[in-house]
Amino acid sequence: MTSKLKGKHFLTCDDWSNQELDTVFNTALDLKEKFANEIPTRYLRDKTLFMIFFEQSTRTRNSMEAGMTQLGGHAHDLTSDKMQLSHGETPKDTAIILSRMGHGIASRNCFYTIGNGYLKEMAKYSTKPVMSLQDDIYHPFQGLADLMTIFEYFGKNTKGLKVTVSWAYADTHSKPLSVPQTQILLFPRYGIDVTVAHPKEFPLSKNIVDKALKNAEDGGGSLKFTNNMEEAFEGAQIVIPKNWGGFGYYDANEYLQNEEESKKEMKANLEKYRNWICDENKIKLADKNVKLMHALPADRGHEVTDEILDNPDISIVFDEAENRLHTAKAIMSLTM
């Protein structure tokens, strides 16, 4: 496959124009059709992708590795314990060496105030495309799969579509801000009206919100915020209940200087909002044909009830998850 996007880094959808992203979506849809019909698409025959994971992963790891296999290449599954990272090897040195040995580098590093900087440092020194598998600010592959799923259910003319991204309770861990921040940056560029609901102690990062408002102005969509989950669900055609940590409540330097205290305060704030759950009562406030999306894994019984998540008339989360494969293959085939 020849592509004008060959060699382009994929650290955030914000670095890609709508025209470039449309090429990705068209490629992903073609790859999905060929996958369903078992038509080979070995566009990356004998090429190598290095995947560096600092955190656990199901959809991201397997969509990239399976995608590389289906494209005719091979993905190396690397973790910090398999490399010299634990011995102090820098992202610069890692990028230089791996880009001389293969054809692409992909990494997930969600450590707050560290992840995005690590990926940008690799991209600065890599001679091959660097792809973000999620960091502390962005999750671009998830954003692509989300928007592709929206196109499949609502068509490509998404002007005026009402999407609610709502914070929801979960007690597993303090999840990154990257999924909702990617969604508010990307969706309004395609004319979508996005409402974000969150408790006052769980905002998104101000600089990202400011950029997302500019994207909405330029793209013809809209972006608004509320501290009331019920209000956000009213009339929504798509609802995305998703927990995220309270990192945006703190100045980054303040958080780092008082990390233990900040974590304790976040935990205390979290327990105030156990009623922030997507359940039947909330769904009744939405559009009668509302669809539920979620990046998964969902914290069942906390973020969303089983009766909603497992309702085939409402939930499209598994279509969304499958599209992680096809959008990943599209980016790899176009950039590698």
pTM: 0.95
Sorting pLDDT into bands at 50, 70 and 90, what band is 161? very high
Whether 249 shows a pLDDT value over 80: the answer reads yes
d(CA 228, CA 196): 9
Whether 87 shows a pLDDT value over 70: the answer reads no
d(CA 193, CA 164): 8
Sorting pLDDT into bands at 50, 70 and 90, what band is 260? confident
Check residue 258 and give its pLDDT.
85
d(CA 66, CA 73): 10
Check residue 140 and give its pLDDT.
98
Average pLDDT over residues 55-74: 93
Whether 300 shows a pLDDT value over 60: the answer reads yes
Whether 2 shows a pLDDT value over 80: the answer reads no
Whether 56 shows a pLDDT value over 90: the answer reads no
Q: Determine whether domain 13-139+322-335 maps to CATH 3.40.50.1370.
A: yes
Check residue 32 and give its pLDDT.
98
Least confident of 143-147, 181-185, 252-256, 304-308: 252-256
At residue 33, what is the residue type?
E
Sorting pLDDT into bands at 50, 70 and 90, what band is 253? confident
pLDDT tens profile 116-154: 999 999 999 999 999 999 999 999 999 999 999 999 999
- The mean pLDDT of the chain is 95
Sorting pLDDT into bands at 50, 70 and 90, what band is 82? low
Sorting pLDDT into bands at 50, 70 and 90, what band is 63? very high
Q: Determine whether domain 142-321 maps to CATH 3.40.50.970.
A: no
pLDDT tens profile 278-296: 999 999 999 999 999 999 9
Contacts of 69 (CB under 8 A, 6+ apart): 75
Average pLDDT over residues 8-33: 98
Question: What are the φ and ψ backbone dihedral angles of 28, each rounded to 5 degrees?
Answer: -65, -40
Q: In what order do the strands lie in the sheet with 162-166?
A: 222-226, 193-197, 162-166, 238-241, 291-292
| C-alpha distances out from residue 254 to 201, 248, 269, Å | 15, 11, 17
Least confident of 15-24, 50-59, 103-112: 50-59
Least confident of 33-37, 58-62, 195-199, 214-218: 58-62
Check residue 131 and give its pLDDT.
98
Contacts of 236 (CB under 8 A, 6+ apart): 162, 163, 164, 195, 285, 286, 287, 290
CATH 3.40.50.1370: which residues of the chain?
Answer: 13-139+322-335, 142-321
Least confident of 84-93, 112-121, 313-322: 84-93
Residue 287: exposure state from Cβ atoms within 10 A (0-12, 13-18, ≥19): middle
d(CA 151, CA 16): 18
Whether 86 shows a pLDDT value over 60: the answer reads no
Query: How crowded is residue 277: how many other Cβ atoms within 10 Å of its Cβ?
Result: 21
Whether 190 shows a pLDDT value over 80: the answer reads yes
Whether 217 shows a pLDDT value over 90: the answer reads yes
Check residue 59 and give its pLDDT.
87
d(CA 7, CA 259): 38
Sorting pLDDT into bands at 50, 70 and 90, what band is 84? low
